[in-house]
Structure 1
Amino acid sequence: MSALPRHGEGPAGDRAVQKSLEAAWGADLPAAEEKELLTAGRALLRADATGIGRAQWPAVFPGSGEGVAPAFATARFRIQAAIARRDGRPGQAVVHLVWAGTDRGGTFTDLRITDWHFTRTTSRKGASTWTPQPRT
């Protein structure tokens, strides 16, 4: 039997998706950093899919998405699971997200996958933060 739920199972299957992600990639970041990255990754995905909040990341979404119709309706969009992990090099991380949504044409799809990459940056005052990288 598969560890993942069947397509279309709905929110009831999200816990299995989360457990599957966690089992596939063991935690390797401090809890506070993982939480910070997850918060940013979820917000980036929501902004990318629905158009809401794009202005917060002008380097990621040039022009803030003005005049661009959102690809997914906010009412029919949900994040099924998410993890944040190191991305191979020091100061690099990736947030893996699995999500579901109904597009403008009315087609619902779940178990969609999106990755957001981040680089740790340090200010002149020594404060560090995770900065999302534009998609290439």
Structure 2
Amino acid sequence: MLPPRGEGAAGDRAIQQALVNAWPADLPASDQRQLFTAGRALLRADVTGAGRGRWPTHFVRQEPVTPAFSPARFRIQAAIARRDGRPDRAVVHLVWAGTDRGGTHTDGRITDLYFTRTSQEGLPVWVPQPRT
């Protein structure tokens, strides 16, 4: 059962549990951790502008941007990482909340970020795929 909209951080655990129950894990725990870390950082960079330099191939335009959301008024409510059809592809499904520059707060926003596993210096690395 999902919490009502506007529940705030108190409802995040229920949202996380609903995602886990609806979409059974199919990736090793180490891959999930890597994908959670990358997915959260990439979403934060996208919506707040903070940390875009870490993703130069994803954010081609590196000039300063006026972010839609302040880092202080943004939070990830829940996240899961699952295979996306093939063993070398994954999707990070994020549910998040934020207050935009106009002061409108919305929770339950959904973003899916896609990654492909490659190898760098002999180690597996998950690389974000460009937006389509």
Give TM class, smaller chain: over 0.9
Asked whether 1:12 is paired with 2:20, we answer no
Q: Which amino acid aligns with 1:60?
A: H
- In structure 2, distance between residues paired with 1:70 and 1:35: 27
- In structure 1, distance between residues paired with 2:119 and 2:34: 15
The answer for the alignment partner of 1:86 in structure 2 is 83
- What is the 5 A alignment of 1:1-136? 3-64=1-62, 66-123=63-120, 125-136=121-132
- In structure 2, distance between residues paired with 1:23 and 1:61: 33
Q: Which amino acid aligns with 1:134?
A: P
- In structure 1, distance between residues paired with 2:77 and 2:131: 22
User: TM-score, normalised to structure 2's length?
Assistant: 0.96
The structural deviation recorded for 1:101 is 0.1
- In structure 2, distance between residues paired with 1:85 and 1:5: 23
Deviation digits for residues 97-121 of structure 1, max 9, x if unmatched?
A: 0000001111100000001100011
Q: Which amino acid aligns with 1:34?
A: Q
Instruction: Count matched residues.
Output: 132
Q: Which amino acid aligns with 1:47?
A: A
User: TM-score, normalised to structure 1's length?
Assistant: 0.94
| Identical pairs, percent | 68
- In structure 2, distance between residues paired with 1:115 and 1:17: 16
The structural deviation recorded for 1:5 is 0.8
- In structure 1, distance between residues paired with 2:87 and 2:33: 18
The structural deviation recorded for 1:128 is 1.7
The structure with the greater share of residues assigned to strand is 2
Structure 1 regions of 5+ residues with no counterpart?
none
- In structure 2, distance between residues paired with 1:25 and 1:44: 22
